[in-house]
Chains A and B, each alone.
Chain A
Amino acid sequence: AQSVAQPEDQVNVAEGNPLTVKCTYSVSGNPYLFWYVQYPNRGLQFLLKYITGDNLVKGSYGFEAEFNKSQTSFHLKKPSALVSDSALYFCAVRDIEGGSYIPTFGRGTSLIVHP
């Protein structure tokens, strides 16, 4: 079985400060991990993914995420937050070796960047 947890319902950060949105996962084998962003009344947009290779993955809009196998985490980060980054962020996982082709999404974390 696969699962993903986003422990924070909301993250508040001041514009210009670094931001981190947390995600932990549980799979039986090696995971495929994804981050998506959802702006109000819009669909989800893909930000970045980890499949294999370098643990630090760079994605759209200056976001990056670090895969940590020992901590089963895939936290989303950005060095300097923008007000326009305010949105709902979803982490997702697929357990490839477990045979899953259906991504499981977390509950989402609302990121609020204050001017």
Chain B
Amino acid sequence: NAGVMQNPRHLVRRRGQEARLRCSPMKGHSHVYWYRQLPEEGLKFMVYLQKENIIDESGMPKERFSAEFPKEGPSILRIQQVVRGDSAAYFCASSPRHMDLTGGTGELFFGEGSRLTVL
């Protein structure tokens, strides 16, 4: 199965610890999106990455959150010094190419999500 793979599926952290969420895109996809889902708020965009490049991080909180997508290996969403408000489901999605005006017009392919609980 060459779908979007996210791990861990569930992660429990205490306040102040670090959380690392990993995402491997679909085979052949080179662009990754991270979204956060909170109850009552729907799906909120966080960051859009290409390998070794952050294209758009306008949805990322300014502090404690970072993301990377190295040349080799999965994309990582890192949350430092977690607080209870970080508890959410974090979804990764991928696309085969940059979705600019001339590029892909299609849908995103989502992983199953990583559910972070901060105690």
Residues 41-58 of A, flagged 1 when their CB comes within 8 A of B and 0 if not, give 111111001010000000
Residues 33-45 of B, flagged 1 when their CB comes within 8 A of A and 0 if not, give 1010000111111
A25 within 8 A of B: no
- CB-contacts of A59-113 with B (<8 A): 90, 94, 96-97, 99, 101-108
B79 to chain A, nearest CB (A): 19
- In the complex the two chains form, what is the Cα distance from A49 to B55 in whole Å? 24
B106 within 8 A of A: yes
- In the complex the two chains form, what is the Cα distance from A76 to B75 in whole Å? 33
Range of interface residues on A (Cβ < 8 Å): 20 to 34
- In the complex the two chains form, what is the Cα distance from A49 to B104 in whole Å? 13
CB neighbours of B41 from chain A (8 A)? 107
- The 8 A-B residue pairs with the shortest CB-CB distance, nearest first, are A107-B42, A43-B110, A46-B107, A105-B43, A101-B99, A44-B110, A43-B112, A108-B42
Q: Can you spell out 20 A-B residue pairs with CB atoms less than 8 angstroms apart?
A: A41-B112, A41-B113, A43-B91, A43-B111, A44-B93, A44-B108, A45-B110, A96-B105, A97-B101, A101-B55, A101-B103, A102-B45, A102-B48, A103-B108, A105-B44, A105-B45, A106-B42, A107-B42, A108-B42, A108-B43
Residues of B within 8 A of A (CB): 4, 6, 33, 35, 40-45, 48, 55-56, 91, 93, 98-101, 103, 105-113, 115
Residues of A within 8 A of B (CB): 32, 34, 36, 41-46, 49, 51, 90, 94, 96-97, 99, 101-108
